[in-house]
């Protein structure tokens, strides 16, 4: 299939074209404030089927339905709890997805067979214009091939999906760089199923009893907990080279450990890379060093993380050592994505 690749312009002709494609059951990749999405009509089971096929995604991994106004909820969900209302008032439109009991209008092909549905009201102007002009409730997973890092630039979407979908809307780089925070609001006590830009600390201001699904925390591997967001169980975001996260109570020990491992890898003829931050980069003497952003502004780390994982593939790196982050604030979402990309391979700098 020939994929139309079009920049978004002031006049919005490319958005109108994309809206036409969505209305007749086609697929369009478009920017949101978090990552690029691969959109199709969420109420049309053939369109949902095409999304799974284009991504190579397992059919039990449900899609998020995007809406362009809060009133659309009435058509898609059975009921809205008090905690859900508080969250929507505070964070919609924006990088938050809520899980509700689905209405009969939502086909099970879109929800991976579940009786619940994930809904997000994004804030990106292109996403909003596309939703409102098409009148379609847009089911959209991240616009990457299954298992690859989520796309934060149109060029990442082109790499993965050119020739597999009808159109790619190029709206430049996204703002946030990590997917939305997912919160299950089907019960009286909301639970965070996937950490994101809206942090646990921000949610606690409104809902002091908010909890995090234990399956997404660091201990996941050891305890073999089953993730409640089906997508969280798959290997994700993984670069082709093996990624290791290096942790330690003392930063000098982390630098030494990483330097030693880079040298060891080089001795074995492997191409090694380091993922560092602005504050730490000059402590690494050898190997390829990539700077994700500043620890003092973790949103800069979030924004570059997926692009750097993709770059590692472009550079043909065999082994990657990354610094780790704390579990507070945005650090929780950053560590969640890094741990998944690393297949939970953690090296302690304290033990040597």
> Is 142 a binder of ligand TXA (CB under 6 A)?
yes
| Closest residue to ligand TXA using C-beta atoms | 231
Binding range to Mg ion, per CB under 5 A, among 70-78, 136-144, 272-280, 287-295:
136-144
> Is 334 a binder of ligand TXA (CB under 6 A)?
no
Closer CB to Mg ion, 169 or 349, in the complex: 169
> Is 32 a binder of ligand TXA (CB under 6 A)?
yes
CB burial readout 311-325, b (16+ within 10 A) else e: bbeeeebebbbbbbb
Closer CB to ligand TXA, 44 or 180, in the complex: 180
Tracing tokens 């191409």 back to the chain, one arrives at 271
Helix (H, G, I), strand (E, B) or coil at 247: strand
* Contact criterion met (CB below 8 Å) for 284 and 266: no
Number of residues located near ligand TXA, criterion CB under 6 A = 28
> Is 182 a binder of ligand TXA (CB under 6 A)?
yes
CA distance 136 to 107: 14
Shortest spacing between CB 258 and ligand TXA, in angstroms: 30
> CA torsion angle for 59, 228, 149, 133 (degrees, to 10)?
70
166 binds, among Mg ion, ligand TXA, none (CB under 5 to 8 A by kind): none
Closer CB to ligand TXA, 84 or 229, in the complex: 229
* Contact criterion met (CB below 8 Å) for 140 and 165: no
> Is 111 a binder of ligand TXA (CB under 6 A)?
yes
Name the phi and psi angles at 335, rounded to 5: -65, -35
Q: If we measure between CA atoms, which residue out of 142, 176, 144, 149 comes closest to residue 338?
A: 149
Shortest spacing between CB 302 and Mg ion, in angstroms: 15
> Is 142 a binder of Mg ion (CB under 5 A)?
yes
Closer CB to ligand TXA, 111 or 324, in the complex: 111
Please pick, from the candidates 48, 180, 324, 336, the single residue that binds ligand TXA as defined by CB under 6 A.
180
> Is 94 a binder of ligand TXA (CB under 6 A)?
no
Near ligand TXA in 282-311, by CB under 6 A: none
> Is 114 a binder of ligand TXA (CB under 6 A)?
yes
CA distance 318 to 298: 27
Q: If we measure between CA atoms, which residue out of 278, 266, 279 comes closest to residue 319?
A: 266
Shortest spacing between CB 125 and ligand TXA, in angstroms: 15
Closer CB to ligand TXA, 298 or 323, in the complex: 298
Shortest spacing between CB 61 and Mg ion, in angstroms: 9
**Cα 226–chain centre separation:** 19
* Contact criterion met (CB below 8 Å) for 79 and 188: no
Please pick, from the candidates 42, 149, 231, 331, the single residue that binds ligand TXA as defined by CB under 6 A.
231
Count H helices and E strands in the chain, helices first. 11, 16
> Which helix (H) or strand (E) element contains residue 97?
strand 96-101
Q: If we measure between CA atoms, which residue out of 16, 58, 21 comes closest to residue 39?
A: 21
62 binds, among ligand TXA, Mg ion, none (CB under 5 to 8 A by kind): ligand TXA
Residue ranges that bind ligand TXA, judged by CB under 6 A: 32, 34-35, 37, 61-64, 97, 99, 111, 114, 116-118, 120, 140-142, 179-180, 182, 193, 228-232
């Amino acid at each position: 299939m020939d994929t139309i690749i079009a920049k978004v312009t002031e006049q919005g002709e490319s958005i109108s074209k994309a809206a036409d494609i969505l209305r007749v059951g086609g697929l369009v990749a478009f920017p949101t404030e978090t990552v690029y999405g691969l959109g199709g009509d969420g109420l049309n089971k053939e369109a949902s089927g095409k999304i799974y096929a284009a991504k190579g995604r397992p059919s039990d991994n449900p899609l998020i339905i995007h809406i362009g106004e809060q009133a659309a909820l009435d058509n898609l969900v059975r009921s809205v709890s008090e905690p859900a209302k508080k969250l929507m008032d505070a964070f919609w439109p924006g990088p938050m997805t809520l899980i509700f009991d689905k209405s009969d209008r939502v086909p099970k092909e879109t929800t991976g067979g579940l009786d619940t549905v994930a809904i997000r009201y994004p804030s990106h102007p292109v996403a909003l214009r596309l939703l409102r002009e098409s009148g379609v409730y847009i089911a959209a997973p991240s616009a990457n091939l299954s298992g690859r890092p989520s796309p934060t630039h149109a060029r990442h979407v082109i790499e993965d999906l050119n020739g597999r979908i009808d159109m790619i809307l190029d709206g430049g780089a996204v703002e946030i760089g990590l997917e939305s925070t997912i919160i299950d609001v089907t019960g009286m006590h909301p639970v965070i199923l996937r950490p994101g830009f809206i942090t646990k600390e921000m949610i606690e201001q409104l809902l002091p009893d908010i909890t995090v699904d234990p399956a997404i925390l660091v201990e996941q591997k050891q305890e073999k907990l089953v993730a409640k967001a089906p997508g969280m169980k798959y290997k994700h975001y993984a670069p082709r080279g093996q990624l290791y996260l290096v942790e330690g109570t003392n930063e000098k020990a982390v630098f030494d450990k990483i330097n030693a491992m880079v040298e060891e890898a080089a001795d074995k003829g492997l191409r090694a890379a380091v993922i560092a931050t602005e504050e730490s980069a000059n402590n690494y003497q050898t190997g390829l060093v990539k700077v994700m952003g500043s620890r003092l502004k973790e949103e800069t780390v979030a924004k570059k993380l997926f692009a750097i994982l993709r770059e590692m593939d472009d550079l043909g790196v065999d082994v990657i050592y990354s610094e780790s982050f704390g579990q507070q604030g945005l650090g929780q979402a950053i560590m969640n994505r890094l741990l998944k990309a690393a297949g939970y391979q953690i090296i302690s700098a304290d033990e040597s």
